[in-house]
Amino acid sequence: MKTRYIYSLLTFLILSACQNPDEFLDVEPTGYIIPSTLEEYDKLLQNYAILRSVGTNVRYMDPDVYHNDVSFASISSSAPSVNAYAWKHDIFPPGVSDNDYNDFYFYIHTMNYILEAVDGAEPGNFDPSKRNVLKAEALAQRAFEYFLVVNEYAHHYDSTNPDKPGVAMPLSVDLQAQLGRSSLGVVYQQILADLYEALSLLDDNYQAINSYANFRPGRASIYALIAEINLYMGDFDLAVDNSNTALGMYNFLYDYNTVDFSDPSNPWAGYNNGSLWFSSTLNKENIWNRFNYWSFNRPFHLYAPGLEALYDKDNDRRWYLFATQTSSAGVDVSPNYIYMYANSERCNGLSVPRLMLTNAEAKARTGNGSGAIMVLNRLLENRLLNYTPLIHADDATTLQMIKDERRKELAGSSLNLYDQKRYHVYGDIVPAFTRIDPETGNTITLNPGDDGYVVKIAQAVRDQNPNLNY
């Protein structure tokens, strides 16, 4: 990982400012320079790659993911994927690197590099009056990366035991540092401190989201992440307040009743909304973009039976648009269904639907179930045919409906894994999940709070830094 840090420090690829990923990436390097001006820091922050293939380790750990013999064949050659599906915790064989971990810390290092130098940097071809915007973005991006890494590589935050190990937390550029894990409490407090400092550096009229490059944050993006962190920490009143603020700034939803396949005879060809989902930088529902997989055609996975049972298959457009029994290569998986996000990038960052569900859950948990149902109804009227609005009966019933909708709306994002982790800490009932190991035929069990919810830091990383060995 140190090699990558040094590389990022000594080289800089100037990227075009554009929305299409091909335009971001298909740029010939004209040379290497050490970034030192505001213009160059802005280009570092414009690097589209920060949103790509995020959190791929946890894809098969999600209990809502299922494999039969046919679908398992598409991952059987990847030891980390097979181990993740078996909830083995230590999923990387010795000597095998972990791209998730390396990428998270690569971008954390990049933000630290910007933060150490931005105050005194010459502007170059950049408006020096916007210096604080770059600083705010670097703080916010560092916070987002820490939020992603701590949820993948540590158990869930518990306010009754905040001293549990979290993740290493470098806040400066020190290529020789071998930090141990900071506690979960310290990591979460630093994330919040970075986000609030970022907000303090932005004018009140700063853009709600960065619609041109939505992997860079706006004010609504930052409030949305604060709300998500509030939810994860069990601060439900704050989660209501901050999600209300974010939704007041930005709340766009697509009506799935207006979306169909570009070629109904070949669903894998994609959807009829042009490039809006193909390039997630153009997806207007995305508030602060990251994505895990493109299309889900190979390797692929199936809907777990419990998740499949939640859908109203006749009326739920999410089932119609994102489920099929035939793989892109023509393999029939009946009676099961493949999850697909055809010819498109699946967001697992912050989106309006995720924010709305966070808002609804926090309202239900603070005794405002009727307010939660109002939020849920607005989402579902854009997702279902022949929709009959839900009616609030009691908070417990409403909360369960919200949990079910999170599973359906966020399917394919792997976020259900983190939801189950936090429900257990809240004291909610979380089942013991079971699977059949396709390799052995044995039953595998994931009990609430098990290490199988967490990716162990790879041995290849721990060999470089023995302080991470606990």
| pLDDT, tens only, 62-89 | 999 999 999 999 999 999 999 999 999 9
What lies within 8 Å, CB to CB, of 134 at 6+ separation is 38, 41, 42, 45, 114, 118
Residue 17's pLDDT band (boundaries 50, 70, 90)? very low
| pLDDT, tens only, 318-357 | 999 999 999 999 999 999 999 999 999 999 999 999 999 9
- Provide the CB-side half-sphere exposure for 166 (13 A, CA): 24
Mean pLDDT, the chain, as a whole number?
92
Q: Which domains, ranges and CATH numbers included, belong to the chain?
A: 2-53+97-254+350-428 (1.25.40.390)
- List the structure tokens of 41: 């820091």
CA distances 392 to 197, 315, 356, 428, Å, are: 38, 21, 17, 20
Is residue 20 scored above 60 in pLDDT?
Answer: no
Identify whether the C-beta of residue 412 lies closer than 8 Å to the C-beta of residue 346. Answer: yes
DSSP string, 230-291: HHHHT-HHHHHHHHHHHHHH------GGG--BSSTT-GGG-BSSTTTTTSGGG-TTEEE--E
Name the residue among 356, 358, 355, 363 with its Cα closest to residue 237.
Answer: 363
| pLDDT, tens only, 150-204 | 999 999 999 999 999 999 999 999 878 889 999 999 999 999 999 999 999 999 9
Residues 442-447, mean pLDDT to the nearest whole number: 96
Residue 6's pLDDT band (boundaries 50, 70, 90)? very low
Q: How far apart are CA 41 and CA 45, in angstroms?
A: 6
Q: How far apart are CA 286 and CA 409, in angstroms?
A: 14
Name the residue among 145, 140, 298 with its Cα closest to residue 206.
Answer: 140
| 438 SS3 class | coil
- List the structure tokens of 305: 């039976």
- Provide the CB-side half-sphere exposure for 94 (13 A, CA): 1
Residue 21's pLDDT band (boundaries 50, 70, 90)? very low
- List the structure tokens of 266: 């070949």
